[in-house]
Structure 1
Amino acid sequence: MAQATHLTLRMLAERVEQLTGQIDELSQRLTRVVVRHARTAAARAGGHRSGQRRHAPDHHGRQPDRLNTEASLAALCGVSPIEYSSGRRSTRRLNHGGDRQANAVLHRIVFTRLRHDLRTQACYERRTQEGKTQRKIIRCLKRYAAHEVFNLVRPVSRAPRHRGVWDDEAAVSLLVEYFTRRRSRGDLFYSGAHFERLGGGGDAEHVADFFDSNDLVAITTLSVSLEPHGAMNLLSDPEGHWTRLLSLIPRDARLENPGSDALMEEGGPAWELWERLTGTKQYPGKPDGSGPVVAGKLLARKRPHLIPVYDIRIKQLFERPKADNSFWTALAAALRVDNGAFRDQLVHLRDQAGIGEDIGVLRVFDVVAWMHQGRQGQVAMS
């Protein structure tokens, strides 16, 4: 009897070892396939298992014309929140419509992340402490997952790229003009040339975690400003939100670094700072005179390597959608694809123009795009 038991256990152990080896081999092969065909997705979706990464883009790709915004993908996957009211109070509930297979993919992504991803676990704990139910928390996490999946599978068509828009020689000429052209009285022609350098920069160590008067002057060089009460709100920070959120965003965070995604995605400190500066239903008390353009330029001043300037000229040049909540992610994808070729090209343009290494690649991109679109507008009007 003992010998038979020993033989049986040995055979079972050998079978387990054999199956484990097969699982490991198949997982490695599947991962290689995913990396080969969706390198950007594989790099960013650390909490997604290979099979989940494979299925989500596949479903998305069947109806690309319908999915111009992340909200449309969320609706298709059945994770967009639905407003409803009892007459006494208004709230949101789960969306039971949409494609259930796509919804199931997001569901598996969320629960995999809850087991293995520290960011997701921290978000769950924070929401629990806020009094949210498990169903509400899962709904929010699935919505966040849809946001990320959209930007993983749409970067090629939505990411702003310069090739075919301007050539390198013209781009260098535009940079030189913007940063060196002078008026007859001797000062710089474009006031925006002072934007990142005024007062030593908004991300200088001694001022990086709060707004100061130099920041308020700096945004005026880009033709925007706050109303007096709004300016006082930023300077005095009566509720402590500005200092709290800026301190959570490292000074050296860079958009091209995948490690910065947690700062930028919905629920992250950069996202919340944007929301508070622009004014939303969740954060309605924005500073007087602030809005999306002002908020973007304030953030670009404080974290110039992480937050790009985004205004009407940029939106027009790259034909971005009217309601655009994915520009940061789209530009990040463009900077990372092809081993950072686009970023390297921006660095090359800066070096050729000789404008100084203190001008970040995001600002190089912004200036060239802004100047190019301005010239295009002048041609159209002539």
Structure 2
Amino acid sequence: MARPKHKLTNAELKAKPPGKYSDGGGLWFHMRRDGGSQWFLRYTIFGRRHEMGLGGFPDVSLKAARDEADKWHAVLREGKDAIKERERQQREAENNMYILRDVALDAFESRKAELKGDGEAGRWFSPLELHVLPKLGKMPVSQIDQRDIRDTLAPIWHEKAHTAQKAMNRLSICMRHAAALGLDVDLQATDKAKALLGKQRHKTQNVPALHWQDVPQFYQTLTDGSVTHLALRLLILTAVRSRPLRFMRLDQIEGDIWTIPAEMMKGRKDATSDFRVPLSREALDVIEQASAFQRDGFLFPSVRKGVISDATMSRLMERRGMAERPHGFRSSFRDWVAETTNTPHDVAETCLGHTVGGSVERAYRRTDFLEQRRALMERWANCLLGNL
């Protein structure tokens, strides 16, 4: 026979003398001697009796206590210990209160080894820092949905398409990182947000490049012997990216070979994959002139401290009224190779530091085409000097 329920009434609760009073169905009301009172659920599972607190009276009303008791009775019917199940739910709720900023910082920390210079330049984290965290940083990551992401990135989705894509990519990594931490997140939220935002109208524009036929004339105007002129000359001669050139050190040069550390090479995550650059006679001459300015081993120091900035060479071209930028000389070099030489594709791409072939092919091919590249870079230097 079922035990009677709902024995107590609201009117009598406050007047009860100290003691424990059953409402039926395992729900009890405890009036303490100090005047305080509380609810608890008494149940037996796995041969052991338990008392589970349900809150104090009158904050938890009689009706609320009965509802709470019914909820935990349903858990007991599933064969689960109510107290342990409540503790599990509380732990889960606490875990899901991780805010996005904390998750993003943890994700960044775990990926530093994959990034150039351990990510100190800030390029990985900055899209989040500038465009996502100001709006979503304090929000529990488990509560972030596609509408939150859409509203956050909508202002830059079309106007700054490349930056928006980076921010979306970093946010997706953070969501996967949160899932790996055991948090309850929607791993499809970023994809859903993209669907809500629609196709981007902005078209990515390549860095403007000087036509290879015009590069020699420009090169031959860099004659004042300043750090900026010398750096720009060597950038053109070697067809490397700006960063490894700006941080070029004398101890990286041996004979006519400049070895760029792997962490300075874009896209090269293997710590052993340093990149060798053959230096033409003209390049060696530029390095000799630049060595007079070296400070702390760096060939191209800035006026105050560190090395010249990424914008230093760009401003020189801007002052001359040019739309082209230093990075474009890599494209100029590649066009010259394609139009005036019979250089194999793999050799030409290796000159630019690009990864050529699949992982299996690279595992069997141990050459970096150094001799072929040495001859090609000498021809390029001669072209720049007008000797071809």
TM-score (norm 2): 0.22
Which structure features the higher share of helix residues? Answer: 1
TM-score (norm 1): 0.22
Which structure features the higher share of strand residues? Answer: 2
